[in-house]
């Protein structure tokens, strides 16, 4: 009977094996993970879990019994070290396992600061795994000075948590503005003001030159020459797809493991999904770093592994929690030419609508769940409401659905 191996026991891997069983795959099924914890959700790592408001078990995507109950061999703490696509085997430790089909859901790895500028000093952390966060929590004590490097979502969420915990928070962003890679200036302005209001010392257009300290970090020299005393550093400078295993096996890579719209890699019988996969989208390749994509793409791949032949079309959405603000994003803003702001009745609530010409691409909604929900429905329906109507708080958004 056919044996499917899934390498990478994270969000996508867990979704993939559950879907395979749900769709009736009755052959062998093995999920292999390098980490020791059962598959868990990462978003709380920079939010409630970092804040100490969530137990570890609540991060788990499924109860531990789920895997045995569904006859899924869960192999944890055992990284796969090589794949032989011709022999259809994977190696972990001394062991070689044979597969009929293989799915790679290896996720991504955080970029680190080079050792040459102090990146390997003690108390310099990334935020990717449970182990990362467990290690940093003992240093995150009230009054400690933390430097956050990088003003993307992870850095900003970490800044919000640290500020709530009473740390003295500085954040440097090398680009001209925070969130530059992912959002319009209007959204950057919103979050800059939010953090400033909570006492975060936020410096844009400022890089980190080097960290200082003997064993543990104790200082930072910024690109403008400023010196800061620091007790810890949190690095949020982006991630790279974890495609090393796939590349070593000869699979095609293109900013991630290259897959087609079905999720097939360049090797027969080998599939990929989640953060590690680069997929075709509107004439080019993209890689999506989100829970939505990890689940939906993995489920599509599961169906296709069983013969569905259904192309995966992402319906991107994302969220971020900072202080008492929930940001919800629908769509992808790539190629936008104009941003329309829609104020809401309550103070902090607002949404920014991205257009390319007359076409609605994406919505950033801050404490505006209705704008998010209707924006998402409009985008998925391919309906682009008149920007002037959107910007008028008197316009009933629901009426826009009717065109
Ligand atoms: P992962 O969940 O990273 O799983 C990959 C797994 O594969 C890892 O456990 C890894 O150890 C394992 N692996 C790698 N190589 C091997 C190997 N050779 N052998 C065995 N195992 C291997 N997304 C949102 O949509 N909203 C958010 O608010 C949000 N917040 C986030 C906050 C943080 C701190 C982080 C880190 C991520 C956040 N994300 C958020 C992103 C989201 O968590 C990821 O997009 C999602 O986890 C991707 O799932 P994945 O299965 O592709 O990768």
Quickly list DSSP for 300-323.
HHHHHHTT---------EEEEEET
C-alpha separations of 60 from 21, 32, 55, 98, 129 in Å: 19, 16, 10, 28, 13
Residue whose pair of structure tokens reads 């915990």 in the numeric block: 165
Q: Is 294 helix (H, G, I), strand (E, B) or coil?
A: helix
Give percent of the chain above pLDDT 70. Answer: 100
Cα–ligand 1 centroid distance for 74 (angstroms):
17
Residue nearest to atom 12 of ligand 1 (CA): 8
Stated pTM of the model: 0.96
Strand (E) or helix (H) holding 372: helix 369-381
Residue 402, pLDDT above cutoff 80: no
From the CB of 11, is ligand 1 less than 6 Å away? Answer: yes
Tell me: pLDDT of 47 over 90. Answer: yes
Residue range 245-285, pLDDT digits in tens? 999 999 999 999 999 999 999 999 999 999 999 999 988 99
Q: Which atom of ligand 1 is nearest to the CA of 107?
A: 53
- The rounded distance, in Å, linking the Cα atoms of 107 and 294 is 9
Other C-beta atoms closer than 10 Å to the C-beta of 79 total 15
Q: Please report the pLDDT score of residue 344 as a whole number.
A: 87
Residue 8 CB–ligand 1 contact under 6 Å: yes
Degrees (nearest 5) of the Cα angle 358, 361, 362? 130
pLDDT of residue 365: 98
- Nearest residue (CA) to ligand 1, atom 22: 8
Whole-number Å distance, alpha carbon 114 to ligand 1 midpoint, is 22
pLDDT tens-digit map of 361-397: 999 999 999 999 999 999 999 999 999 999 999 998 8
293 C-alpha vs ligand 1 centroid, how far in Å?
Answer: 11
Q: Please state the atom number of ligand 1 nearest to the C-alpha of residue 14.
A: 51
Question: Tens of pLDDT along 48-107?
Answer: 999 999 999 999 999 999 999 999 999 999 999 999 999 999 999 999 999 999 999 999
Which atom of ligand 1 has the smallest separation from the CA of 129? 36
Task: Please work out whether the CB of residue 328 comes within 6 Å of at least one atom of ligand 1.
Answer: no
Is the shortest distance between the CB of 387 and ligand 1 below 6 Å?
A: no
Q: How far is the CA of 40 from the centre of ligand 1 (A)?
A: 9
Distance 402 CA to ligand 1 centre (A): 38
* Dist CA 401 CA 397 (whole Å): 7
Do 49 and 90 touch, CB atoms closer than 8 A? no
Give the SS3 label for residue 104.
Answer: strand
CB 210 within 8 A of CB 124: no
What was the pLDDT predicted at 282?
86
What pLDDT does residue 257 have?
Answer: 98
Residue 401: the pLDDT is 78
Determine the Cα–Cα distance for residues 223 and 209; give it in Å rounded to an integer.
Answer: 5
Band of the pLDDT at 1, cuts 50, 70, 90? low
157-200 pLDDT tens trace: 999 999 999 999 999 999 999 999 999 999 999 999 999 999 99
With the most atoms of ligand 1 within 8 angstroms of its CB, the residue from 275, 299, 372 to mutate is 275
The 10s digit of each residue's pLDDT in 285-306 is: 999 999 999 999 999 999 999 9
pLDDT value for 111: 98
Per-residue burial over 256-282, b = 16 or more CB atoms within 10 Å of its CB, e = otherwise = bbbbeebbbbebeebbbbbbbbbbebe
């Amino acid at each position: 009977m056919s044996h499917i191996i899934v390498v990478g026991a994270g969000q996508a891997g867990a979704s993939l094996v559950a879907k395979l069983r749900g769709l009736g795959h009755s052959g062998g099924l093995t999920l292999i993970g390098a980490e020791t914890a059962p598959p868990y959700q990462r978003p709380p790592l920079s939010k409630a879990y970092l804040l100490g408001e969530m137990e570890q078990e609540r991060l788990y995507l499924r109860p531990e019994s789920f895997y045995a109950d569904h006859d899924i061999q869960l192999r944890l703490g055992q990284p796969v070290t090589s794949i032989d696509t011709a022999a259809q085997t994977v190696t972990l430790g001394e062991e070689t396992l044979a597969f009929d089909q293989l799915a790679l859901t290896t996720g991504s790895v955080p970029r680190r600061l080079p050792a040459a500028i102090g990146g390997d000093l003690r108390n310099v952390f990334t935020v990717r795994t449970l182990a990362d966060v467990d290690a940093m929590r003992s240093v995150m004590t009230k009054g400690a000075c933390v430097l956050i490097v990088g003003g993307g979502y992870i850095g900003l969420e970490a800044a919000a948590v640290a500020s709530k915990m009473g740390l003295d928070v500085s954040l440097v962003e090398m680009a001209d503005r925070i969130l530059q890679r992912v959002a319009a200036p209007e959204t950057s302005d919103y979050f800059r003001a939010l953090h400033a209001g909570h006492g975060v010392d936020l410096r844009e257009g400022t890089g980190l030159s080097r960290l200082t300290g003997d064993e543990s970090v104790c200082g930072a020299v910024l690109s403008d020459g400023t010196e800061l005393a620091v007790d810890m550093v949190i690095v949020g400078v982006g991630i790279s797809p974890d495609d090393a295993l796939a590349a070593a096996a000869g699979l095609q890579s293109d900013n991630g493991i290259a897959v087609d719209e079905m999720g097939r890699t360049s090797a027969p019988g080998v599939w990929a999904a989640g953060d590690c996969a680069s997929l075709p989208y509107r004439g080019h390749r993209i890689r999506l770093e989100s829970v939505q994509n990890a689940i939906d793409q993995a489920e599509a791949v599961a169906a296709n592994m069983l013969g569905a032949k259904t192309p995966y079309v992402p319906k991107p959405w994302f969220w971020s929690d900072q202080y008492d603000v929930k940001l919800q994003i629908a769509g992808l803003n790539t190629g936008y030419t104009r941003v329309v702001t829609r104020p809401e009745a309550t103070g902090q609530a607002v949404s920014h609508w991205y257009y390319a010409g007359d076409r609605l691409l994406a919505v950033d909604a801050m404490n505006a769940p209705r704008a998010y929900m209707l924006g998402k429905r409009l985008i998925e329906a391919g309906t682009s409401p008149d920007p002037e109507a959107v910007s008028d708080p008197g316009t009933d958004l629901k009426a826009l659905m009717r065109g």
